[in-house]
Amino acid sequence: MGTTNGSRNQDRARQARAWVLALDPLYGMIGFGAVGYAIDRWIVGSGQTWMIALGITGLIVGFYRFIREAMALNKEQSGSSPRTDGDPDT
């Protein structure tokens, strides 16, 4: 009874954004790995070289996106301006 409908929707939006952040590395690894599998299977005909290489690349790209989005979310939550080093008072 203490929460309003608006704050409940904001909580759900924040929770959804957190899930997207957490799953970015997994989605990158699966997506790039699937492309690598397709290259291995139909174009090159090699073993699992492209799948492994692109899967690792997807994992790296996913973690890069995770860090970038987490820093943006942290800056948004702290209320600091983009011109500062994170100190909300400047």
pTM higher than 0.75: no
> Has residue 88 been placed in a domain?
no
Q: What is the pLDDT of residue 72?
A: 84
Domain encompassing residue 18: 5-76
Residues 6+ apart with CB under 8 A from 70: 21
Tell me whether residue 53 is exposed, middle or buried, using C-beta atoms within 10 angstroms of its C-beta: 0 to 12, 13 to 18, 19 or more. middle
Using pLDDT thresholds of 50, 70 and 90, give the confidence band for residue 21.
Answer: confident
> Has residue 57 been placed in a domain?
yes
Domain count, the chain: 1
